[in-house]
Chains A and B, each alone.
Chain A
Amino acid sequence: DQQVKQNSPSLSVQEGRISILNCDYTNSMFDYFLWYKKYPAEGPTFLISISSIKDKNEDGRFTVFLNKSAKHLSLHIVPSQPGDSAVYFCAASAGDYKLSFGAGTTVTVRA
């Protein structure tokens, strides 16, 4: 049972524009949410996280928004750069040291 869903398998965006990645979850016990980025032949790397007590967290070009009532979070990348082309995974934790991951969204930034 997939508790974290990324319904868009791919996203294509022009360099300099905003990339918006979406993620939905079903488990109301999740209290931390994380985004990871993965390049081919490498392991996922941590990007940004947000606690369920917040609705926004920003780190440079990356901002994560959390809407608890809708059980929805999104990652905004502004401006998008060619190096941002990768697979992005949304993940959630219920405080038990286990992360539940979405299936990933492949982002392609066009020059």
Chain B
Amino acid sequence: KAGVTQTPRYLIKTRGQQVTLSCSPISGHRSVSWYQQTPGQGLQFLFEYFSETQRNKGNFPGRFSGRQFSNSRSEMNVSTLELGDSALYLCASSLVISGANVLTFGAGSRLTVL
């Protein structure tokens, strides 16, 4: 069974640009979540989608947006990039195991903003 696939793996942008990241979940998983990882901050929740609907949103500015398609694939977009947006962006698809919402993560997209 293929895992969670994220593209691109690495990208460099400049301030003011926008970026779109893509995520293909594990087949059969309908929930997709996005997290931002920065040094010393752990993983910060961005948003979660289920059946093309955003069910949960973290405390990020409106420059961060996402969507989910009918095949469960998801994209996230960051507009007007700032230096502080440099981070590893992780996508995860979700399977409930014995009541726990266990996330399976992709390898991430490392964004560098210059």
We find that the number of chain B residues with CB closer than 8 angstroms to chain A is 30
CA distance A41 to B56 in the complex (A): 27
B68 at the interface (CB under 8 A from A): no
Tell me which of A9, A36, A93, A97 contacts B50 (CB under 8 A).
A97
Q: Which residues of B contact A25 (CB under 8 A)?
A: none
Complex contact B100–A43 (CB within 8 A): no
Secondary structure dominating the interface of B: strand
The interface size bin for chain A is: 20 to 34
Give me 22 A-to-B residue pairs in the complex whose CB atoms sit less than 8 angstroms apart, sorted by A's number.
A4-B42, A9-B40, A32-B101, A34-B100, A34-B102, A36-B105, A43-B4, A44-B103, A45-B105, A51-B98, A89-B43, A91-B43, A93-B101, A97-B33, A97-B94, A98-B48, A98-B58, A99-B101, A99-B103, A103-B40, A103-B41, A103-B42
A residues near B (Cβ < 8 Å) are 2, 4, 6, 9, 32, 34, 36, 41-46, 49, 51, 89, 91, 93, 96-104
